[in-house]
């Protein structure tokens, strides 16, 4: 069996990947409302730093490595694991705990019917939540693992007053992309209207409605270096009230997501396509991220049974 037990003794696993634009030198970072690109000064040498991709966005990229959007089903690597599916009243697939931002705590899961009960009631019972009673964190972790184990990797917040105590599980895997020594690269262009270059404001056909020629400015960046950082909180995984085999399974899944994402390259946006260079393990010292085949084998070795999805119906 692929050895992962020794890694469970570590507090953290840290992996850093060097990146560079796959074409040219410019790239477009993530932006934030009322802020734009997030630039800041290095506390070490004062160089300008830039957040290229946030932790919350990277969580989506990592989770996406285990979901097949073409078939709306989990990828083969996690086909045996349980999760929650939600269908509409006509029997068509609607969403799932693997694709919802709030995972098991999604409004669609809460309001769906599972037999004679709702998702909210089912989860409250599975987690053992009751008024005027402390949260049984061991039971919560066990129940979440049995409903959708990936929620123990990417976190979940049962933020509803009808779930007493509103338990929360933090992310066990965190990632972000950061650039150093950055400078703005300004450019622009024009959206051409080949029918009417000026539009017709009086007829309600102005630039706001998409008519006429519209010039625009564009701000991209160049950087001395770009790095993606991944941290797996092994101590958190170790604290879950699970069997060792199950903890190792979660660790293998975390490493699989990282390796799968790096093997594909990071095309984060149309103007942010980053090739992966050197990948180094910084914690534990001299750690080497296994290849995808080894991690697939590690996952298979720790799966003891096929667990079907739990199906609910929304809007009935």
Give the pLDDT score at 2.
72
Same domain, 266 and 199: no
259-264 own/partner pairs: CB under 8 Å, 24+ apart: 259/289, 259/290, 259/291, 259/292, 259/295, 260/65, 260/292, 261/61, 261/62, 261/65, 262/17, 262/228, 262/289, 263/292, 264/65
Tell me what pLDDT residue 203 has: 65
Out of 192, 221, 250, a domain closes at 221
**Same domain, yes or no, for 76 and 117?**
yes
Angle between helices 119-127 and 137-147 (to 10 degrees): 130
Q: Residue 27's domain spans which residues?
A: 7-182+223-313
| Whether residues 69 and 195 fall in one domain | no
pLDDT tens digits for range 23-33: 999 999 998 88
| Last residue in a domain, options 221, 241, 271 | 221
120 and 157 together in one domain? yes
- Please report whether residue 53 resides in a domain: yes
Task: Kindly state whether residues 23 and 85 are assigned to the same domain.
Answer: yes
Residues 54 and 93 in one domain: yes
Nearest Cα neighbor of 179 from 59, 53, 57 is: 53
1: in domain: no
List, for residues 4-45, the tens digit of each pLDDT value: 889 999 999 999 999 999 999 999 999 888 888 999 999 999
| 224, pLDDT greater than 90 | yes
Q: What is residue 208's predicted lDDT score, i.e. its pLDDT? A: 66
pLDDT-above-70 percentage for the chain: 96
- CA 160 – CA 140 distance, rounded (Å): 15
Contacts of 296 (CB under 8 A, 6+ apart): 77, 256
Instruction: Identify whether residues 51 and 172 lie together within a single domain.
Output: yes
| Claim to verify: residue 121 and residue 163 sit in the same structural domain | yes
Mean of pLDDT over the chain: 93
d(CA 127, CA 110): 14
Total domains, the chain: 2
Burial of 160 (0-12, 13-18, 19+ CB in 10 A): middle
Clarify whether residues 130 and 157 are in a common domain.
yes
At 77-122, the pLDDT tens digits run 999 999 999 999 999 999 999 999 999 999 999 999 999 999 999 9
Per-residue pLDDT, 188: 82
Q: Are 259 and 294 a contacting pair, CB within 8 Å?
A: no
Is pLDDT of 287 > 80? yes
The answer to whether residues 152 and 104 belong to one domain is yes
Assess whether 188 and 92 both reside in one domain: no
In a domain, 191, yes or no: yes
pLDDT at residue 91 in the model: 93
Give percent of the chain above pLDDT 90: 83
pTM of the entire structure?
0.92
173 and 248 in a single domain? The answer is yes
Which residue, of 168, 193, 221, is where some domain finishes? 221
Has residue 2 been placed in a domain?
no
């Amino acid at each position: 069996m692929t050895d992962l037990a020794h890694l469970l003794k570590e507090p953290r696993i840290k992996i850093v990947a060097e990146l560079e634009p796959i074409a040219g030198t410019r790239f477009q970072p993530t932006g934030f409302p009322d802020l734009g690109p997030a630039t800041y000064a290095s506390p070490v040498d004062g160089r300008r730093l830039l957040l290229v991709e946030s932790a919350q966005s990277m969580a989506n990229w990592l989770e996406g490595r285990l979901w097949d959007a073409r078939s709306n089903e989990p990828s083969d690597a996690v086909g045996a694991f349980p999760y929650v599916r939600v269908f509409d009243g006509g029997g068509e697939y609607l969403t799932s705990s693997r694709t919802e931002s709030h995972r098991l705590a999604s409004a669609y899961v809460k309001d769906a019917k599972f037999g004679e009960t709702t998702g909210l009631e089912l989860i409250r019972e599975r987690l053992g939540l009751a008024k005027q009673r402390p949260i049984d964190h061991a039971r919560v972790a066990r129940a979440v693992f049995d409903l959708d184990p990936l929620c123990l990797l990417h976190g979940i917040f049962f933020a509803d007053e009808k779930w007493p105590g509103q338990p929360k599980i933090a992310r066990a895997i965190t990632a972000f992309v950061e650039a150093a020594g950055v400078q703005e690269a300004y450019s622009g262009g024009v959206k051409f209207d080949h029918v009417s270059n000026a539009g017709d404001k009086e007829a309600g056909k102005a630039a706001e409605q998409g008519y006429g020629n519209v010039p625009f400015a564009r701000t991209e960046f160049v950087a001395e270096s770009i790095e993606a950082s991944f941290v797996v909180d092994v101590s958190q995984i170790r604290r879950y009230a699970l069997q060792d085999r199950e903890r190792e399974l979660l660790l293998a899944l975390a490493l699989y997501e990282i390796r799968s994402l790096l093997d594909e390259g990071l095309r984060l946006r149309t103007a942010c396509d980053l090739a992966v260079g050197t990948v180094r393990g910084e914690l534990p010292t001299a750690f080497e991220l296994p290849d995808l085949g080894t991690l697939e084998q590690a996952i298979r070795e720790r799966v003891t049974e096929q667990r079907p999805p739990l199906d609910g119906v929304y809007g009935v």
